[in-house]
Amino acid sequence: MTDGMTDGAMPSEHGARPRRALGLDVGSKTIGLALVDEAGIAAHPLGVLARAGTPADVSAIRTLVEQHSVTDVVVGIPYDLSGRVGHRARRVLELYTAIETALADRVKLHEQDERFTTREAERVLIEADMSRAKRKGVIDQQAACLILQTWLDSARSK
């Protein structure tokens, strides 16, 4: 497709396995992780990686790609409210480029606008009556789920 999206987790026309996507919510201290289910329908929390520098982060992501037979990696990009690439987005795009360089032969990378994702994840967790302490431990992976689910839904509608 010309817009850079694949058909998400949808099966190919020849009945091949659904595509397996990994969603990343990249922060300064952690990376929230989400994985699409085996049916290719819904994003589920996978965990959180502590940031350890770009080479170590890419290595950890490579391991996850191999362990889970990932075909697509969806990276949330924190654009400014105006839609421009600001300081935070530039930092995430540096990691995006490093992942792309290291894994170009294994996965297809996708950018997903993640403005308001963390705020929405927090709202969902508050509505679930989760305590502030527990929210802190799962907010990044919940944000990764929202990033990945938004991409899945968008890809499915194309």
CATH number of the domain that 148 lies in? 3.30.420.140
Return the half-sphere exposure (C-beta side, CA atoms, 13 A cut-off) of residue 89. Answer: 15
Residue 125 in this model has a pLDDT that exceeds 70: no
Q: How many domains, in total, are found in the chain?
A: 1
Task: Look over the chain and give the mean of its residue pLDDT values, rounded to a whole number.
Answer: 83
User: 3 in a domain, yes or no?
Assistant: no
Domain range for 108 = 21-157
User: 26 in a domain, yes or no?
Assistant: yes
- Contact 138/125 with Cβ under 8 angstroms? yes
Q: What is the pLDDT of residue 98?
A: 97
User: 56 in a domain, yes or no?
Assistant: yes
User: 122 in a domain, yes or no?
Assistant: yes
Tokens of 77: 């990009």
Q: Write the DSSP symbol of residue 9.
A: T
pLDDT tens per residue across span 13-37: 334 456 899 999 999 999 999 999 9
User: 97 in a domain, yes or no?
Assistant: yes
Name the helix (H) or strand (E) containing 116. Answer: none
* Cα(97)–Cα(101) distance, integer angstroms: 6
Q: What is the pLDDT of residue 108?
A: 95
User: 5 in a domain, yes or no?
Assistant: no
User: 14 in a domain, yes or no?
Assistant: no
Q: What is the pLDDT of residue 142?
A: 85
pLDDT tens per residue across span 30-76: 999 999 998 888 999 999 999 999 999 999 999 999 999 999 999 99
- Contact 68/22 with Cβ under 8 angstroms? yes
